[in-house]
Amino acid sequence: MEKKNSGTTGVKEIARLANVSIGTVDRVINNRVGVSEKTKAKILKIIEELNYQPNIFARRLASKKKLRFATLIPQVSNETKYWEAPLNGIKQAANEIKDFGIEVVTFFFDQNDKTTFKEGAAKINAQEFDGVLMAPMFEDESLTFIEECKEKKIPLVFINSDIPGHHSLCYIGPNLYQSGYLAAHIVNYLSPADKKTLIVNISKEIDLHHHLLRKEEGFRNYFEQNGGNNELTKIDIQQTGYAHIKEKLTEQLAKDHYDVVFVTNSRVATVAKYFEEHKIKNIKLIGYDFLEDNINYLKSKTIDFLICQKPQEQGYRGLMSLYNHLVLNTAIDKEQFMPIDIITRENYQYYSN
């Protein structure tokens, strides 16, 4: 006879086999106290043998409490469309879990203005939420918000960049150091020893954007560890409008010749625009992210390589981690690193975020 492995019948079968009450089984399934370790182990073994999956839909309908998740991520801007992909992932996950009585409220901030991050965090603190997904872009402001969530015992999921050693349920995103290390490996093929590489950081809050600095650390360490003589120069461009970027690039390229330019984030399209305007064809260009503008410059052979790390999947998996933790009571991996993909004009059409 076929075993039923969900709903009330499944619980009854587990209780019968374990010789305990249905209430005891329910306490184990919902990870509540009041069951001895020996009995709990016995019930968990039977659950595993039956491949039992609790009827989550019925449990959520029966629950009096409606779970609320908040997300705090940068808004999509004219400078970069990067955050459209994580937002799409969040929307996809929110649509999948809404029937389980879960509400997702999205808050945005300007990634060039840390005060807007503080405002978004304050709005979340002013309401009742059971879990938060956030992009900890500004370190000091993020640490303050993390401590506030810790006091309230609200689980946090970080996406895109991490703050190691601080309270969170998990981090979902790239291994930033390895991402920069890989970029340097590509540069080593494009520009062997004794050539010159320009590292370009474009961000208003460079000192606080630790994810850019971590990539740069990996990039530099590659050459240190592999004995390369590639001469590295870095410029930080802290005004992100095109006119200012154009001015800084003109100034830097007038000082020296470079064989490769490595842009540490998705704003590589801005540098590509400068290259096309000035008909620069003898410098290889590497940057980040599978965005429309970047792909267009990749197709036109202005950008040579894009490093991509599944931002849409980051948003989706981030929200689903909160759901799995708070609803399914499943264990969550502390670090969930995204693949580091190398995109070229030959393979971009087969890739998606």
Show the domains of the chain with their CATH numbers: 7-54 (1.10.260.40), 66-173+311-338 (3.40.50.2300), 176-308 (3.40.50.2300)
Q: Are strands 341-343 and 305-308 parallel, antiparallel or unpaired?
A: antiparallel
- Confidence at residue 187, expressed as pLDDT on a 0 to 100 scale: 92
Whole-number mean pLDDT of the chain? 88
Between 164 and 153, the higher pLDDT residue:
153
Q: How confident is the model at residue 64 (pLDDT cuts 50, 70, 90)?
A: low
For residues 53 and 5, the answer to whether their CB atoms sit within 8 Å is yes
Residue 241 has pLDDT above 70, yes or no: yes
List of residues 6+ apart from 284 with CB closer than 8 A: 187, 190, 191, 259, 260, 261, 304
Between 9 and 166, the higher pLDDT residue:
166
Closest CA to 348 of 304, 284, 283: 304
Lowest-confidence range among 55-69, 236-250, 293-307?
55-69
Q: How confident is the model at residue 190 (pLDDT cuts 50, 70, 90)?
A: confident
The distance of Cα 327 from the centroid of its chain, to the nearest Å, equals: 22
CA distance 157 to 168: 6
Question: Percent of the chain beyond pLDDT 90?
Answer: 62
Lowest-confidence range among 146-155, 201-210, 230-239?
201-210
Cut 0.95: pTM above it: no
pLDDT in tens, 6-23: 444 477 788 888 998 877
Angle, in degrees to the nearest 10, between helices 242-255 and 268-277 = 70
- Confidence at residue 318, expressed as pLDDT on a 0 to 100 scale: 97
- Confidence at residue 167, expressed as pLDDT on a 0 to 100 scale: 76
Residue 5 has pLDDT above 70, yes or no: no
In 3-state terms, what secondary structure has residue 344?
Answer: coil
CA distance 173 to 134: 12
pLDDT in tens, 34-52: 889 899 889 888 887 887 7
pLDDT in tens, 281-325: 999 999 999 999 999 999 999 999 999 999 999 999 999 999 999
CA distance 154 to 147: 10
